[in-house]
Chain A
Amino acid sequence: MNRSCEITIEIGGMPILLHIENDTFRQMLARRYAGFVGSPSRPRFEFEVELTAPSADDPDDEVRVEMQAGVWRLGRGDFRAQWDPRAGRGRIRQSANPYSIDSVLRIVHTLILAREGGFLLHSAGAIRNRRAFLFSGLSGAGKTTISRLAPADVTLLTDEVSYIRRDDDGYHACGTPFAGELARLGENCSAPISCLFFLKQGPENKLESVDKPEAIRRLMRNILFFAEDMSLVQNVFQSACEFVERVPVQRLTFVPDSTVWGMVQ
């Protein structure tokens, strides 16, 4: 395989090598994932990317993710992929559309993390004073707004999807290139998580405690997971419970101006 047609996308410290037959597309990905392009020498997983002619297939179709004979099969209107996690290899079939490969990467990371006690969370994330803060909520809750209001001493990890890993010391948030309305990639760095906030915009800045059942319920609502797999769903639920037991969770009502960051220390 020609090295010039490879690119390693490393998110959350998880290098995934893509073999791409079209260098123009590879260059497009290099620009899109700038800051998350790693060394191809030691990939954790590899995918052959086969490009097809553009089609009218709908990227808004429902995602299907299922395991058959030890191989994950991923599909949506605009892509088909299969991935053998034991062999560490897979294949993606799609048009030269970066949104399709972005979706495949998100799904693959949810599957990897589900086995390791982590998850992708629909949340903005930022580092301040070497601690990570997560701001979760459904669309319209204020993830982009609070990201846009971040002061200069804050490192933005993402305005859309946070990468949560668990290790012996607890939970870390990692930056991702999965951008939301801000259309800005996060920084490729990580920090231990200090607090998870569930966002709501309101007439005043206010912090309130969230009891654990409610925290788990809200967390599960915001975890990205697509696979129809009973044991992984159970893993994700247990991960959410453990996260809530170890990480403070609060409800943050905020006025959409920079004063809100005075409450995030």
Chain B
Amino acid sequence: MSEKYIARSSAIASRLLGGEMMIMSAADSTFFTLNPVATVVWQVADGRTPLSEIVVRAVCTEFQVDPDIAQRDVERFVEDLSKHGILLVSDRPFPNSTLGPPEAA
């Protein structure tokens, strides 16, 4: 299976509130609230770390989830947000110029 890379869109506004990430699409004002697992994935979506590594290092370690289940859940979440243009997905690392600012904790 080919590797995936994910990056946060720069056309959004986001804020961490009570451990959950609030995200609003600046294009159409669609609003999302991420659960704690999705929030961690969002925070480390730097466009350069392979998704499989994000799952193992960030999700499985922090939430003690089975890697296969975590991989499946994260891919579903990534697909969902990418449909709304909130997350960008590529099969190769993103060049620096396409990335937004680092996510604030």
Contact = CB atoms under 8 A, between A and B. Distances in A.
Interface in A240-258: 241, 244-245
Interface stretch (A3-11, A28-36, A116-124, A231-239): A231-239
The binding surface of chain A is classed by DSSP as helix
Given A230-B11, A237-B13, A212 B18 contact: yes
A160 B26 CA distance: 25
Contacts of B11: 230
Interface of B: 10-13, 15, 17-18, 20, 22, 24, 26, 29, 31, 33
Contact of B15 (A230, A233, A238): A238
Contacts of A244: 17
A220 B33 CA distance: 14
A245 B17 contact: yes
A213 B32 CA distance: 9
Contacts of A213: 17, 20, 22, 33
Interface of A: 212-213, 216-217, 220, 230, 233-234, 237-238, 241, 244-245
A68 B12 CA distance: 21
Contacts of A217: 31, 33
B22 A241 contact: yes
Contacts of B22: 213, 216, 241
Contact of B17 (A220, A233, A234, A241): A241
Nearest to A242: B15
Given A230-B11, A237-B13, A220 B29 contact: yes
23 contacts: A212-B17, A213-B17, A213-B20, A213-B22, A213-B33, A216-B17, A217-B33, A220-B24, A220-B31, A230-B10, A230-B11, A230-B26, A233-B24, A233-B29, A234-B13, A234-B26, A237-B13, A237-B15, A237-B24, A238-B15, A241-B17, A244-B17, A245-B17
Given A212-B18, A213-B20, A241-B22, A233 B33 contact: no
